[in-house]
Amino acid sequence: MYISKDNYIIQEIRKQTQGEFKPSKNMITRWFNILNEEIFNNIIHPFHDIEIKRKQGCHAEHIPFEDGYGTIYAMLSINKKFNDKNEFLYTLAHEMIHQWQWMQLGRTSHGNSFWKWKNKLAQFEIPLGESI
Ligand SMILES: [Zn+2]
């Protein structure tokens, strides 16, 4: 499928907004909703909670939980500071794939079910990598 260059996500990515980016919970939720609708067809369950903190050695983590009744959910733990906005958007897209894996497949990995999203993300000019 061809995505118009007028697409909101593509426009935002191409801006390559420079400078430190500090995401708020509102901003994360807003972009979660945009990416979910445009890229993932709204199949990604929202994170149960979002934690913003200073992370070391990574930009973000998907933290899965299962309660005593077998209900699964997850928390997004994300760095409070990014080098620029695109780094934040790439990170959020990556963690959203882990959320999809966890809620649909009950596990997360950088295996086939991760890489199957690579082409779809590339249509929106979002690169997918293992390290986040
Ligand atoms: Zn990952």
22 CA distance to ligand 1 middle (Å): 21
97 CA distance to ligand 1 middle (Å): 8
* pLDDT tens digits along 6-64: 899 999 999 999 999 999 999 999 999 999 999 999 999 999 999 999 999 999 999 99
116 CA distance to ligand 1 middle (Å): 13
Residues 6+ apart with CB under 8 A from 130: 110
Which residue type is seen at 78?
A: I
Give residue 1's pLDDT band: very low, low, confident or very high (50, 70, 90): low
Give the pLDDT score at 99: 98
* pLDDT tens digits along 103-120: 999 999 999 999 999 999
Architecture, CATH, for domain 19-121: 2-Layer Sandwich (3.30)
